[in-house]
Amino acid sequence: MYELGFLDEFLKLPHQALNKINACINETITPIADLTALPTQCKFIAFMPQWDFLNFIAEQAKKYPSFQLCMATEATGLVETNGVITGVTAKTATADITVSADLVIAADGRFSTVRDLAGMHVTDKGVPIDVLWLRLSKQATDVSATLGRIRGNRMMIMIDRGQYWQCGVIIAKNGLNELKQQGLAAFRAYLVALAPFLIDRVDEITDWEQVKLLTVQINHLKHWHRPGLLCIGDAAHAMSPAGGVGVNLAIQDAIATANLLAEKLRTDATINESDLHRVQQRREWPMRVIQNLQAFIHKRIGLGSLETKQTSLPMPVKLLRHWPLLQRLPARVIGIGLRPEHIQTKDAWHTS
């Protein structure tokens, strides 16, 4: 946001700033990451609803005369000419349209329609967990600094949304049906076991419709591109929620794409597959390292088990407690990533 030139305006949006990440592990509050020493303009993570972030970006983009945002528009097909993707067909509320393009970018997430239309298939690493998202009210006496709560092999993420908690409950893969069979009362007890202070509000969950399933995936494309088409973000590599770094990688993919391709697009030069492969080469290494780390965490920790067993703090956590400087390492991985990207295009997005 700082490099784009809208940091001050961005921070006027309602958000919650988190500069230290703590976890409650077997009832012990433990520091995990200290972001206050990061080499960034803002030394914190700003939490805000995704729609507020996207609306803000769209408003800034509207300052450019060539920008056009089509809402309620669904991609239905790809236009291919002599083996090159040259556009997309789409359906609006009133008509079918065709959009021609020098380059089509699939940035439509882990269930990418554009990727499927192109016949591109992901390699799945397999993940032993899913996540249940729900919201519970927040009270003034609640402690906001604890992001994760772990008890035995159970885990829950709690994101402070100001007026409420957005809770992500880690469960075993395909374990939702088992929880439903046990009933809502058992599920409420499950939540209280993880976060005892929620005992006075878990009754707010009155129906399973209030609990949304996120099917966790770790996968990637072998080739992120075809002639005329490039996949980035989750369309190229779906990440686990572990570390909350998926959005960082997706945005870094977009910045690298702009840095490597914008000048050619600006001058109407031909974008060939070697150009697209340069984007993959730039971004594939950090993606693979993080995915392997996430897979290792899931395998070793075994999060999602319905059994509760008290254990001592893991050795890495003990080291973080006794050597505070080590907290800068997870802070860098979470806050910046392994290969940060900086805007290099000539005009960036500055409009002032």
3-state secondary structure 332-349: HHHHCCCCCCCCCCCCCC
Quickly state the pLDDT bin for 250 (edges 50, 70, 90).
Answer: very high
Mean pLDDT of the chain: 91
Q: What is the mean pLDDT of residues 54-62?
A: 95
Q: What is the mean pLDDT of residues 319-324?
A: 92
- Where is 263: in which H helix or E strand? helix 246-266
- pTM for the model: 0.91
Q: What is the pLDDT at residue 265?
A: 93
User: Nearest CA to 281 among 195, 342, 239, 223?
Assistant: 223
- Which amino acid, residue 118? A
Quickly state the pLDDT bin for 57 (edges 50, 70, 90).
Answer: very high
Give pLDDT tens digits for 104-128. Answer: 999 999 999 999 999 999 999 988 8
Quickly state the pLDDT bin for 330 (edges 50, 70, 90).
Answer: very high
Query: pLDDT at residue 349 above 60?
Result: no
Q: What is the pLDDT at residue 145?
A: 63
Handedness of CA 121, 122, 126, 127 (dihedral sign): negative
Q: What is the pLDDT at residue 97?
A: 97
Give pLDDT tens digits for 294-310. Answer: 988 887 665 444 344 54
Among left, alpha and beta (phi > 0; psi -120 to 50; other), residue 119 is: left
User: Nearest CA to 207 among 289, 111, 306, 135?
Assistant: 135
Q: What is the pLDDT at residue 217?
A: 92
Q: What is the pLDDT at residue 306?
A: 39
For 6, 58, 244, 311, 350, the CA distances from 63, given in Å and listed in that order, are: 13, 9, 31, 55, 10
